[in-house]
Amino acid sequence: MHDSQVWQLNHVGRRTALKLCATLGGLAALGGGSGILHAATDSSGVGSAAERIVTTSCHVNCGSRCVLRAHVANNIITRIETDDSGDDAYGMHQVRACLRGRSMRKRVYAPERLKYPMIRTGKRGEGKFKRVSWDEALDAIAVKMKDIKERFGNEAFYLNYCTGNLGGRVSKSWPPAQTPVARLMNCWGGYLNHYGTYSTAQIAMAMPYLYGSNMGNAISDIVSSKLVVMFGNNPASTRMSGGGIIHDLLVAREKSDVRLIVVDPTFTDTAAVADEWIAIRPGTDAALCAAIAHVLIGEGLADQRFLDTYCVGFDEEHMPAGMPANSSYKAYVLGQGPDGQAKTPDWAATICGVPAETIVRLARQIGQAKPCCISQGWGPQRHSNGEDACRAIAMLAVLTGNVGIAGGNTGAREGGFLIPFALFPTLTNPVKDEISVFMWTDAIMRGQEMTALRDGVHNRDRLKAPIKFIWNYAGNALVNQHADINRTAAILGDESKCEMIVVHENFMTPSARFADILLPGTTNLEENDFTVSEAASEMAYAIFAHKVIEPLFESRDIYDTCADLAGRLGVRDQFTEGRTRDQWLQYLLEQSRPNVPGLPATLDDAWKMGVVKVKNPGAPFVAYKTFRDDPVANPLTTPSGKIEIFSKRLWDIGHSWELPEGDRIPAVPEFTGEPEGYLSPRRSQFPLQLVTFHYKQRTHSTYGNVPWLKEVAPQELWINPIDAGQRAIRHGDSVRVFNDRGTSVIAAKVTPRVMPGVVLLPEGAWYAPDAEGHDHAGSANMLTTQHPSPLAKGNPQHSSLVEVARA
């Protein structure tokens, strides 16, 4: 699940202020770069061969980008080190890779590497292939592309969500519109695009209805906070880089010693360094927040002046015209709305599992701490009711007037500091149709039935064609990371529906097994590329990742692959514009140099430099600061220009869209029970709520084949001792996790760190089915649903009910 598309470009407006001196510090930092020769150390076992150290990076989808320093001798990587430049002073600190980056050589040399182009020989998904030449493979793709274009048009071509090489600049695999595949398709008539991400579908869709966008203060801004409350935000696991958010958080907290409260169903690794953990049932954040609002309003802790000045729809006096009485947020909280239920702490307690006295105490702490940082991760929103949950959490920031000030926050996830480095140009997509990232399996099955009002099709009332051709470059969402693997496998297994799947990949992943044509890609250590920082608060950087070793086997990079295919489609010149991959990198340098001071002029200089670091010259980023300072001069991008607690747009959507029974799109952030949640009647059959989490072993499914990582962080089902005891499960026992969609078998981790009634499965384990179709890897998507969330039509992968038994 992808982590970066809503990463705010909040450097805009201050790029001219970047200080050259800071940049120069970064240059000095990586003075080594490539080309340094020294004797290998004995412990590496390399002997006395001359060894080079080459600066490269890790490009996976974790939100961070880390410096790797590869030791290489005789075209073999012998060791991976990380940024060791300078004195590590914060602001120009080392971008230290996490455990995954440090295991990179085991990934490059994994036995699962694809060696040659292959064409499917068995049934799709069976994993039977025959070796072919690159020419044969590309010829076959070109022939089929022309055939499908003729019969269905360019709208039948889909670029699937793929984030395995998110960090690359030329080899970028997501968003689709920034990839070489998109450039190829755009030269040749376009493709069906998608909006949203598996990481953030609901929050990225919903927050703009509240604020006009989805921004948050930098985490480093908590130096000014009196209290930090994180809802489902776990940077210790989701932002592990030593140059990223967890480092920023710990440094800021060391300075201010601010109290940190974590609200989460799990005692996360972030909770391990926090001051308090409040355990909440999954999918009930909106109920908790409504009860906190009830206390804030009842005890006069709400910032009425802020609500009157900056917001629409808090109370009946500030509603859009023409809305029925008692539709405001305050009416909802106090029980004056249609449901007549006051959202008291006692009401919420029985839903959330949080004792009423804890809710009252939390509300008072939030109301009295000035300023208070309310933030959320992307867990609360990855639910059937996630669009309301994320807005409900943000309401705590709005109610207490913490929006737009230092030390406060919007209630969204943290923002940061970026540099404006140029993207690989991909031209314009002539096809404007878009579907939600999560709806592609439906678009295969019933493409032309899918409409704007029923299925969230963008820019067209009804899809023109079903998906007939899938490009899957560097991704595992074709099978592993999409919900309900059994349904996905059945849909893909019907070869008459989607007629061709092309997978360009490093490894034989569960998704690669479903390819018709399987192309072996280079890892980013086998190609030249750049990568640019994303999730970082006070220091941005670019890494010039020099090729470490020659491509293994017959692997080829995506740019050359697309260029050769473009030749077969008659668009080679448009695609390449006469440039090689390295010439495009040179082009990107030239495009970026005016905006990022200190960039090298040539590729050779870049490789020598290795990394350029830019320190944030200003204060930590504060979202909507200009709006807070002057709401008239700097309105938000909502229709009213204000914070729309009641969204007239959502009201209209809720009254015009065709929604399945039980789905709701309320105008204010209400709590709605989930089809598979704590209040669901389905719990009598499947009593445990399954949520997934980002695990140190993998970035989603990337690195899922590295034995070192499996050894130090094995895949396990987390289950509370109470639930385990009722099922006679002991720590380490093999258990079956199952519901009516599938079964996964995995070892149990019996731990009090997960609440009773909830089980956790780290997302991303590589689906490993047996003859009966039961997975034996602990692959969470055996159990998740393809029923999309109401508004974003996004993936509700934390809304799954399951049962667990000893295997």
Partner 1 sequence: MLKHPAFHIDIATCTGCKTCMIACKDKNDLADGVKWRRVSEYAGGGWVQRNDNTLTQDVFAYYISVACNHCEEPICVSVCPTTAMHKDESGIVLVDASKCIGCHYCEWACPYRAPQYNAAAGVMTKCNFCIDFQREGKPPACVAACPTRSLTFGEYEALKKQFGESALIAPLPDPAITKPNLFVTPGRTAKPMGSASGSIRNPEEV
Binding site for partner 1 (CB under 8 A): 41-45, 79-82, 84, 88, 96-100, 102-103, 105, 236-237, 240-242, 246-247, 250, 254, 267, 269-273, 275, 277, 279, 346, 349-356, 696, 707-709, 711-714, 720-722, 731-732, 747, 749, 751-753, 755-756
Shortest distance, position 74 Cβ to partner 1, whole Å? 16
Min dist CB 642 to partner 1, Å, is 37
Q: Which residues pair with 614 in a beta bridge?
A: 540
Question: Across the beta sheet with 517-520, what order do the strands follow?
Answer: 129-131, 118-120, 517-520, 500-505, 469-473, 157-159
Q: Nearest approach, Cβ of 241 to partner 1 (angstroms)?
A: 6
* CB 782 within 8 Å of CB 742: yes
| CB nearer partner 1, residue 266 or residue 692 | 266
What's the CA angle centered on 800, arms 795 and 804, to 5 degrees?
A: 145
Q: What is the DSSP letter of 727?
A: T
Q: Which is nearer to partner 1, 78 or 410 (CB)?
A: 78
Is residue 32 a contact partner of residue 610, using CB atoms and an 8 Å limit? Answer: yes
- What is d(CA 371, CA 406) in angstroms, rounded to the nearest whole number? 8
What is the rounded CA–CA span in Å between residue 721 and residue 755?
Answer: 9
Contacts of 161 (CB under 8 A, 6+ apart): 2, 174, 176, 194, 197, 198, 437, 440, 475, 477, 481
Cβ 93 to partner 1, closest distance in Å? 9
Output 267 or 438, the one with its CB closest to partner 1.
267
Sequence-distant (6+) residues with CB within 8 A of 487 are 441, 741, 786
Q: Which two tokens stand for residue 487?
A: 């349904």
- What SS3 class is residue 113? strand
d(CA 97, CA 83): 8
Closer residue to partner 1 in complex, CB, 143/272: 272
Rounded Cα distance, 638 and 403, in Å: 15
Nearer to partner 1, 244 or 597 (CB): 244
Phi, psi dihedral angles at 345 (to 5 degrees): -55, -35
Residue nearer to partner 1 on the CB measure, 178 or 241: 241
> At its nearest, how many Å lie between partner 1 and the CB of residue 364?
18
Q: Supply the minimum distance, in Å, between the C-beta of residue 361 and partner 1.
A: 13
**Cβ-based nearer residue to partner 1, 97 or 185:** 97
Shortest Å distance, C-beta 431 to partner 1: 42
Please identify, using beta-carbon distances, which residue of 496 and 684 lies nearer to partner 1: 684
Please identify, using beta-carbon distances, which residue of 217 and 266 lies nearer to partner 1: 266
- DSSP secondary structure letters along 372-393: EEEEE-STTTSSTTHHHHHHHH
In this complex, which beta carbon is closest to partner 1, that of residue 236 or of residue 508? 236
Q: Which is nearer to partner 1, 184 or 246 (CB)?
A: 246
Cis bond upstream, residue 617 (ω within 30): no
**Minimum distance from residue 710 beta carbon to partner 1 (Å):** 10
Nearest-angstrom CA–CA distance, 677 and 383: 9
Q: DSSP code of 800?
A: E
> In angstroms, rounded to a whole number, what is the distance separating the alpha carbons of residues 668 and 686?
31
- Longest Cα pair distance anywhere in the chain, in angstroms? 82
Q: What backbone phi and psi angles, to 5 degrees, belong to 444?
A: -70, -45
Q: Which residues contact 589 (CB under 8 A, 6 or more apart)?
A: 599, 600, 601, 602, 603, 606
User: Side by side, which strands form the sheet with 372-376?
Assistant: 276-279, 259-264, 227-231, 372-376
CA 678 to chain centre: 25
| Rounded least distance, CB 609 to partner 1, Å | 21
Residue with tokens 């990582």: 709
Give the nearer residue to partner 1 in terms of CB position, either 182 or 262: 262
Give 98 or 517: the residue with its C-beta nearer to partner 1: 98
What is the nearest approach in angstroms of partner 1 to the Cβ of residue 258?
13
Q: Least separation, in Å, of the C-beta of 714 and partner 1? A: 6
User: Which residue, 280 or 397, is less far from partner 1 as judged by CB?
Assistant: 280
What b/e string do you get for 481-493 counting C-beta neighbours within 10 Å, with b at 16 or more? bbbbbbbbbebbe
What is the nearest approach in angstroms of partner 1 to the Cβ of residue 283? 15
Tokens of 528: 């030249």
Nearest approach, Cβ of residue 82 and partner 1 (Å): 7
Closest contact distance (angstroms) between CB of 248 and partner 1 is: 11
Tokens of residue 538, six digits? 């006070």
Distance CA 170, CA 424 (A): 6
Tokens of 371: 């300023």
Residue 160 phi, psi (nearest 5): -70, 155
Q: Which is nearer to partner 1, 110 or 356 (CB)?
A: 356
Total residues found in the chain within this entry: 807
CB contact at 8 A, 81 and 60: no
* In the complex, minimum distance from the CB of residue 615 to partner 1, in angstroms, rounded to a whole number: 18
- Residue among 139, 159, 190, 156 nearest 497 (CA): 156
- For partner 1, the closer of residues 282 and 404 by Cβ is 282
Rounded CA-CA distance 584/248 in Å is 33
State the minimum distance, in angstroms, from the CB of residue 555 to partner 1.
Answer: 23
